[in-house]
Amino acid sequence: MSTNMSTLDRWLRVVVAAAAIVGGFVVGAGSVGGIVLFVVAGAMLATSAAGYCPLYALVRFDSRGRTPLPH
């Protein structure tokens, strides 16, 4: 499995996941909304750590940009 996320994409996911975690506590950790936010944050942190997004692979998207052609 190769990476398909750029460094900027990975850091943005970490920031959004942190906001989702805070939102989960604000909404209430035991509420349905809080649990959904925690699950979303966990998925975003996992894909960010791996550098691979299955949804990107499904739609054949790569946020790393173009790679130079081999010589």
Q: What is the pLDDT along the chain (71 residues), one digit of tens a residue?
A: 789 999 999 999 999 999 999 999 999 999 999 999 999 999 999 999 999 999 998 998 888 887 665 66
Instruction: Say what the pLDDT of residue 69 is.
Output: 59
**Distance between CA atoms of 14 and 39, rounded to whole angstroms?**
14
Task: Give burial (CB, 10 Å; 0-12/13-18/19+) of 67.
Answer: exposed
Spans of all domains in the chain: 7-51
**Residue 32, Cβ neighbours under 10 Å: how many?**
9
Instruction: Say what the pLDDT of residue 68 is.
Output: 62
Query: What does pTM read for this prediction?
Result: 0.83
Are 4 and 61 a contacting pair, CB within 8 Å?
A: yes
Q: Which of 4, 1, 2, 3 is CA-nearest to residue 63?
A: 4
